[in-house]
Amino acid sequence: MSVHTDTVPLAKPVLGPEEEAAVVEVLRSGHLSLGPRVPAFEQAFAARLGVAHASAVSSGTAGLHLALRATGLEEGDEVVTSPFSFVASANSILYERARPVFADIDPITLNLDPAAAKAAVTDRTKALLPVHIFGFPADLPAFERLGLPIVEDACEALGAVHADGVPVGGRGHPAVFGFYANKQLTTGEGGMVTLGDPATKERIDSERNQGRAPDMGWLDHDRLGFNYRLSDIACAIGLAHRRRGDAPADTAASAAGASSSPR
């Protein structure tokens, strides 16, 4: 009796001539960063989710960090989150010398349990960080009733939809998506923050670019920032990948089955 040992990959990016042509076009333009593909990718992504704004960043982890900073997170603050996630969820809290507070998960959905999160809230709680684990939407209406700022870890959830028909990432809270090679849409590395507040987008756009505001000169910076930019090369790949169709078909990973993996 023969034994088959073929390996079925958990996720495999689907890349082809469209992505190759998009990259070559950027390379020939000589405009590799801070160019027109970045806002084009942001606008296309925001339009897909029906949200007002999106900010492209270098990774999902970078997006989580900047989104949490935008809540006003400071040293000693607490953020209630899930213990069942990739390490980046907790790391993004620790970057600001804040404290991740792990609350229990629902045994069926594996998402952060709203009742457990409520019980974990103290007077030092600054925000909630629910994770849409394996792409299954967390119970955002229940978290919203707690009255705290929410940052959504949606790195595995592109294409998922809440029970009320709103796409994950489309509720207006900062929601962070990842574009690592095993995600539904990939740019190799990269991420996107979707959000409804223009002031928060302005802050994230500045802090991803070393703290430079849009109306400031090349060496003029007015706040602490980071090198969290996403290149035009990556955005060109993202735009081409986006044109393949709705996100769940973009890679072999489905919105409900993406791995708990690099942000």
Nearest to 170 by CA among 192, 190, 145: 192
Nearest to 178 by CA among 117, 136, 238: 238
CA dihedral 223, 92, 232, 244 (to 10 degrees): -140
Lookup: tokens for 28: 């020939």
Helix then strand count (H, E) for the chain reads 8, 7
- Specify which residues 194 forms β-bridges with: 54, 175
| Distance separating alpha carbons of residues 229 and 244, to the nearest angstrom | 24
| Annotated catalytic residue, options 12, 118, 126, 183 | 183
Active site residue 183: yes
- Specify which residues 55 forms β-bridges with: 193
| Distance separating alpha carbons of residues 192 and 178, to the nearest angstrom | 7
Give 249's DSSP letter.
Answer: G
In Å, the largest CA–CA distance within the chain is 71
Which residue's entry shows tokens 């900062």?
Answer: 174
Helices (H), 179-262: 198-207, 232-242
| Distance separating alpha carbons of residues 237 and 137, to the nearest angstrom | 26
Which residue's entry shows tokens 């925001």?
Answer: 46
Residues with a catalytic annotation lie at 183
